[in-house]
Amino acid sequence: MDSLDHPVIITFRPAEQGGKRALAHETRLQFWLFDKPNGAAFCDIEFDLVTGLASSTFAKGCLDWQTVICSHHDFVGVPVDLEQIYERMAGTPARILKVAVHADDVTDCIPVFKLLERARREGREMIAIAMGAAGIATRILGPSRGSFLTYGALETDGATAPGQLTAKELRELYRVDRITEQTLIMGLVGLPVGHSVSPHVHNAAFAAAGVNGVYIPFEVRDAKSFFGRIVHPQTREIDWNLRGLSITAPHKATVMDDLDWVEPAAQEIGAVNTVVVVGDALHGYNTDATSVLKPVIERFGSLRDSRCAIIGAGGAASAALWSLRREGACVTVFARNFQKTNSLAEKFGARYENLEAARFDAFDLVINATPLGTCGQRENETPAISDQLRGARFAYDLVYNPTETRFLREARDAGCETLGGLPMLVQQAAEQFKLWTGADAPIEVMRVAAERALQ
């Protein structure tokens, strides 16, 4: 092979370790001993092959161990003997060690961060990554915690491993080269979180306001384990400068049990969408409730005595219902789960009706507070069609991605005025920014960032 013009990392990985095709052991040996290109800055060689090469007297003249990255990949999960694997890798002559494991939940990042801590204490150069959507935090925070490097794809569809971000996202969105151990860490807790534009909104705000902070998506299945092992200052297993969290579906209600203090409004609503770390305690707030109606009132005017319908019975519906009742509106909640919805309606003095065959012609305002229509598997779904919405004056979808949901299209076909969820997203994010930083948010910067991300 010809010499390379620029220093790169060379790999020749078999399919079982993440490569594109099957490779015989002898073929891999042949490549590293005779065929590798000159000029490569580093050679990423699998642990099983490094072991054999290290014992070969012939390899001594063919490999410069100062350029070797000894790597181990596990695409299934986090091996229980990860520390022992590290110790065996550390016994090779390779200068740099690399471990990439698969994360099913964000708590799987804990052993990865601990491995980085250990390598730094022992003076070893280390790359440690948790693959998959739940491991994104290790890709963003790894370099600030001693990881020799992190990986980014050139294009969105060019990722070489699950959960890999693009180089542009790492540099421009997360500003990975500016993150230090003093950087304030905020993030979004939910399942899923890949559709969210909140990282774009908050990271743009931090950059504009000169805040040394980063906002990261956390894909969380087990919220109690996440809060106990990673979030709460008194029990967390990693040392990081966590300042606050946004909470989205399906965790807005369940996280309340893991907080030390919850504001009265959020207690009444029964849902929290914002967590602030205050000393050794966690405080909970609901910025959805104070933000959800501001865009509507700007367009609609006073909601006193207006007839309003809320579709849904989750955390977003609770926040909308609480806010509407404070505005003096007459509210009816529509959903399919009678027991859950009836309890919610009774709590706030609203009526309940079953969503099946519902009609909204008697309402001034109809709010979709369900996740139906959100970008992804349910994007083509809607809680109501045009025949049901015809006669309603105003339709408001709390879903913001995509900006044009099927619910909004159905409402427009029915002759309704419409409003999407983006203005509310920006407003509640601005209130979160102030809770975390104590400063007023650059709300116009946040709005522009959200619109660009959704394009």
CATH 3.90.79.10 applies to domain 9-178:
no
Query: Which two structure tokens, joined as six digits, stand for 100?
Result: 């990439």
CATH of segment(s) 290-420: 3.40.50.720
The pLDDT of residue 84 is above 80: yes
Digit-coded pLDDT (tens) for 252-306:
999 999 999 999 999 999 999 999 999 999 999 999 999 999 999 998 889 999 9
Whether 198-285+426-454 and 9-178 are alike in CATH topology: the answer is: no
How much of the chain is helix, strand and coil, in % rounded to 5? 40, 20, 40
Between 36 and 49, name the one with better pLDDT. 49
Confidence of residue 1 (pLDDT cuts 50, 70, 90): very low
CB 272 within 8 A of CB 284: yes
Q: Which residues pair with 188 in a beta bridge?
A: 217, 246
Structure pTM? Answer: 0.91
Can you give the residue ranges of every domain in the chain? 9-178, 198-285+426-454, 290-420
User: CATH second-level architecture of 198-285+426-454?
Assistant: 3-Layer(aba) Sandwich (3.40)
Sheet strands (E) in 305-363: 307-311, 330-335, 351-354
Query: Which two structure tokens, joined as six digits, stand for 330?
Result: 């007459």
Least confident of 89-93, 138-142, 194-198, 239-243: 194-198
Closest of 258, 288, 252 to residue 270, by C-alpha: 252
The pLDDT of residue 26 is above 90: no
Say what the pLDDT of residue 342 is.
82
Concerning whether 98 is annotated as a catalytic residue, the answer is no
Q: Alpha-carbon distance 269 to 321, whole Å?
A: 8
Closest of 52, 53, 46 to residue 16, by C-alpha: 46
Q: Alpha-carbon distance 7 to 26, whole Å?
A: 26
Digit-coded pLDDT (tens) for 199-232:
999 999 999 999 999 999 999 999 999 999 999 9
Digit-coded pLDDT (tens) for 416-435:
999 999 999 999 999 999 99
For residue 250, cis peptide bond before it (omega within 30 degrees of 0) = yes
Between 292 and 158, name the one with better pLDDT. 292
CB 199 within 8 A of CB 217: yes
To which residue do tokens 């490097």 refer? 149
Please report, for residues 332, 333, 335, 353, 402, the alpha-carbon distance to residue 414 in angstroms, rounded to integers and kept in the order given: 20, 21, 21, 21, 20
Which residue in 60, 224, 252, 294 is the catalytic one? 252
